[in-house]
Amino acid sequence: MAESPGSDTKFRQVFDAHLSSVQRYCARRLRPADANDAVAEVFLVAWRRIHRMPEGDEALPWLLGVARNVIRNLERSGRRSLRLKARVEQEPTPANPGPEAQVIRHVEYAEVAAALSSLNQADQEVIRLRAWEELTAPQIAVVLGCSVAAAEKRVTRASQRLTRAVERRKVKVRPRAIREGGDA
Amino acid sequence: MNAELLMQVKALDPAPTGTELPTGMAPAERVLAEIDERNRTMQTKERVDVRRPDPQRRWTPALVAVGAFVAVLAVGAVIWLIGVGEGDVADPTTTTTTTPVTTTTTEAQPPTEEAAGATPLTTSFGSLEAGTYRLDTFGTPFTFEVENSVFFVMENRSGFFAVAPPNSRDFDDRDMVIIRLAELSDPTAPNAQGEGWPADDFAGWLDNLTDGVLATDREETTLGGLPAIRVDLELGDIECLSGNACVLFDLSRRKSLNPGAKYRIWVVEQETEEPLAVILGITNESDLAWWDAYEEILSTLSFLP
């Protein structure tokens, strides 16, 4: 193994192939400063466990599983909330809304977002892995550390609960608005 | 998830694939430099930690030396006392008796030949004398030791074993139930005859558990040397399925959880089979000592190859 992560061939291959996906995963769940912190931590873990890291198609779900744990640890340690608190104290008027808030420009999206955030954390994560990371059930199983059958069940249940939550908010599906989506 | 709803959730994605990364995300070179920096810091810290023994370690040689010296003195004193005693009151007719010293351990032990030869537990209703037993009705056999003869086997059939004090009135009255899981109940509605939940996803079951069932002290642990999740459960405000079974824990053996009772549950991963659940139940807070008694038995649990 090379002394430095940057000069190790296997690490560089994994890093180059999956950096963007890991960055997106973290950026979707954290603000940029925390997301950068988490990304570095994920690849540091990957570097130190390079011999145990799966190769090929399984590498990304494994990295996302590490990212999930890193984010949970960040949240657990309270560093993030302390930083947020400090930031709020310094800036009474938040200039930069959170990652999801930036996207919610249509009322119908706000309703779906509200329905999504009404679910428990485990359900929200499953839905995001399916919709945002576009993972399959076997890949979700790797990220969550459960069996494929369990992952399938979790996806089904979380989807059912999201549908019910949306229905409760009487959200009408507007495919046209979605297709135009983006930054509109 | 239906396609339209999936699209709507996708539209909420703050960093959609195929678009530019959100502002503020570091470029690859900076991430690599950061990893390098953190790696170097960790290596330095590790080297320093290896060189610098912790305060406890620094004391260890001194403590060992003092301990050895005290032990030598003690042994010398005992030998001297025995010598003096023999010299003073030597009596060939005196017989000496030795008291057997018993030691107990709470660590789970690996299977031994003796454990493998434990008495097969075949009784389905009867008292459980002190001894080492083997249960063969669960697939992979397992053994456990009972030190006190205060338990009574209430049920013993394929994949289901229940033990309690002889005067236990019903399930949950100071009992321990062991079941081979095949399917957990629907965690969102365990009080309904719904679809089940995979037995090998107890963590997910707990994550999705309805507010009507209160879970506390969840802990990842081991039982019989295998990974397990331990949790305490009791019912809160929840409508019951029926008078006899308020909430179902699992659909495989239909073990129920009932109002007023407290449960301590372990779900133990198995190498080739579905998990094993161990459920301790009490209906009075004053019976908590029974959990200690059962945990003593569980500390001797050992799965045979």
B79 touches chain A (CB under 8 A): no
What's the confidence (pLDDT) of residue B95?
Answer: 31
* This prediction's pTM: 0.50
B32 touches chain A (CB under 8 A): yes
In the Cβ-directed half-sphere of A17, how many Cα atoms lie within 13 Å? Answer: 14
B42 touches chain A (CB under 8 A): yes
CATH for B258 = 3.40.1000.10
What are the respective helix, strand and coil percentages of chain A, to the nearest 5? 75, 0, 25
A110 touches chain B (CB under 8 A): no
In the Cβ-directed half-sphere of A50, how many Cα atoms lie within 13 Å? Answer: 18
Question: Is B155 inside any structural domain?
Answer: yes
Question: Is B160 inside any structural domain?
Answer: yes
Q: Which two tokens stand for residue B289?
A: 């000592």
Question: Is B296 inside any structural domain?
Answer: yes
What's the confidence (pLDDT) of residue B72?
Answer: 57
Do A175 and B188 count as a contact with CB atoms less than 8 A apart?
no
Residue B90 DSSP label: -
Integer angstrom CA distances of residue B271 from A147, A176, B227:
13, 51, 10
By residue range, what is the domain housing residue B267?
113-303
Examine domains A1-95 and A97-184 and report if their fold is the same. Answer: no
The fold of A1-95 is Rna Polymerase Sigma Factor; Chain: A (1.10.1740)
pLDDT above 50 for B64 = no
Whether residue A43 contacts residue A5, with contact meaning beta carbons closer than 8 Å, is answered with: yes
Mean pLDDT of A9-35: 92
A84 touches chain B (CB under 8 A): no
Of A36, A44, A122, the CB nearest to B39: A44
B74 touches chain A (CB under 8 A): no
Segment holding B74, helix H or strand E: helix B55-89
Nearest to A28 by CA among A101, A111, A88: A101
Set of chain A residues whose Cβ sits within 8 Å of the Cβ of B215 = none
Of B39, B42, B204, the CB nearest to A150: B204
pLDDT-derived band at B201 (thresholds 50, 70, 90) equals: very high
pLDDT above 50 for B98 = no
Distance from CA of A182 to the nearest CA of B (A): 7
Domain spans, chain A: 1-95, 97-184
Q: Which two tokens stand for residue B17?
A: 């694939």
Do B13 and A131 count as a contact with CB atoms less than 8 A apart?
yes
Distance from CA of A164 to the nearest CA of B (A): 11
Widest CA span in chain B: 99
Question: Is B264 inside any structural domain?
Answer: yes
Mean pLDDT of A146-156: 86
Do B200 and A149 count as a contact with CB atoms less than 8 A apart?
yes
The fold of A97-184 is Arc Repressor Mutant, subunit A (1.10.10)
What's the confidence (pLDDT) of residue B93?
Answer: 29
Mean pLDDT of B245-257: 89
Tell me what ipTM this predicted complex has: 0.75
What distance lies between CA A142 and its chain's CA centroid? Answer: 14
pLDDT-derived band at B241 (thresholds 50, 70, 90) equals: confident
